[in-house]
Every structure is written in structure tokens, then in C-alpha cells.
């Protein structure tokens, strides 16, 4: 069971690593990190890199694809992007095509979300409509073999639900135990309908600052 994570400069690390830490435990799983060319691919922080094992052009099929999001996804969400062209080519034969956060924008640009309910990070959810998708604030959305997850940490939830469908609930719960995923957040502000206006404004400020610092490290 080949699982491919396409990486692009400016992805958010947890978007990929969260689902990876779940799906790698599935029996027979072969995880491949891919990019335009093999080698280290910088995350949005600029300081952290994951090494791509393969070039996208060398992968013509896979069982599961999980597209991470991040600031870099916004510029790539166009029909001419090599990532979008690759997704369009492999999607028809996948068992599951999934995204985390703004990875959904790449699925949308590939035409995969047309007419489907989908989710993404709260700060980009309005963009889904431009790709013919029906935006929803749900944390994880299954539409046939297409799965979209909301922002960053929701990729873990998505991967656990996916594990249960690929194997069974006991296996998925066993993986959840292995990674000791038992969320007990210190604050109840992890969704826009729970956060105060001050918290939402501060989140925007922090995101802009992090984006600027990441860009300075990768240029």
C-alpha cells in the first residue's frame, strides 16, 4: 500500500507529519515523500526540512495520496502547477485522495473537489468555492474516496478515521494508543466559533509574522 505525501516549499510540517505518524503503522504501508525533485524540502518555517525520497514525475500511481497545506500551497493552486498536474494524473486510480489544511486548494485546482463538500483551514475556507466545492466548517469531510481535513492538527483525526476505513476500528484505536493521541488542550480556543475576537486577531498577527520569518529563511 503506497502512501505518497507530495511536498512543496512552504508546506506546514504537522500537516504531513501528523498523518504520517498514523498511516505509517498500517500493515503493508510504504510511505513516500515526493517533490518536484528529490532532496530536502523546506517547510513554512524555513528552518525545518523533510527529505523527499522521489520525484513526482517518477510516481505514476499510488494507493493513497495525502496533500499537506501551508503558505506555499496558495501559489501552487493553479492548473499549470506541477503538483496540480500530478494530482490530476494519479487521482483516478487512487484508493483515497486526501488533503490537510490548504492542501485542499491543490485538490480544488486539480478539479477533484468540484461539486463536493470540503473543508480546509478557517483562514482559506472561502477559496474552496472558487474551485466548485461546497465549503463546510467540519473538521474532517469524507466524500467518496476524497477526504479533506481542516487546519493542521485535524490531519491526525483524518488519518485515524482513514485508518479505520482501510483496516478496522480496532487497528485505528491501536494506532491512536501508540501515538498516545488523547487531546486535552489547555485552552478551548481551537476553532473560530470558540475563539474571541481578540484571539482571532492575534492569530492573524502571529500567522503573518511567522510567514514573513519563514520567507526570509528560504530566500
- Residues annotated as catalytic are 101
The answer to whether residues 77 and 96 touch, using CB atoms and an 8 Å cutoff, is no
Distance of CA 144 to the CA centre of its chain: 17
Nearest to 171 by CA among 63, 65, 22: 22
- 14 beta partners: none
- Angstrom distance (rounded) from CA 206 to CA 208: 5
Which CA distances in Å does 6 have to 35, 55, 180, 184? 6, 9, 26, 30
Residues 6+ apart with CB under 8 A from 177: none
Amino acid at each position: 500500500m503506497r502512501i505518497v505525501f507530495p511536498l512543496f516549499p512552504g508546506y506546514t510540517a504537522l500537516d504531513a507529519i501528523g498523518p504520517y505518524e498514523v498511516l505509517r503503522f498500517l500493515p503493508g504501508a510504504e510511505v513516500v515523500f515526493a517533490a518536484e525533485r528529490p532532496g530536502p524540502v523546506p517547510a513554512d518555517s524555513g528552518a525545518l526540512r523533510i527529505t523527499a525520497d522521489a520525484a513526482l514525475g517518477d510516481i505514476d500511481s499510488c494507493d493513497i495520496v495525502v496533500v499537506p497545506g501551508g503558505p506555499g500551497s496558495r501559489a501552487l493552486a493553479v492548473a499549470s502547477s506541477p503538483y496540480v498536474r500530478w494530482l490530476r494524473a494519479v487521482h483516478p486510480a487512487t484508493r483515497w485522495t486526501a488533503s490537510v489544511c490548504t492542501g485542499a486548494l491543490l485538490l480544488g485546482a486539480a478539479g477533484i473537489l468540484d461539486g463536493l463538500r470540503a473543508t480546509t483551514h478557517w483562514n482559506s475556507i472561502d477559496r474552496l468555492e472558487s474551485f466548485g466545492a461546497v465549503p463546510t466548517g467540519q473538521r474532517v469531510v469524507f466524500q467518496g474516496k476524497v477526504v479533506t481535513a481542516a487546519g493542521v492538527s485535524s490531519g491526525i483525526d483524518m488519518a485515524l478515521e482513514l485508518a479505520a476505513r482501510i483496516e478496522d476500528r480496532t487497528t485505528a484505536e491501536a494506532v491512536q494508543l501508540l501515538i498516545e493521541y488523547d487531546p486535552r488542550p489547555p485552552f478551548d480556543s481551537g476553532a473560530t466559533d470558540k475563539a474571541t475576537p481578540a484571539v482571532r486577531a492575534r492569530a492573524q498577527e502571529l500567522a503573518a509574522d511567522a510567514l514573513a520569518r519563514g520567507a526570509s529563511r528560504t530566500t
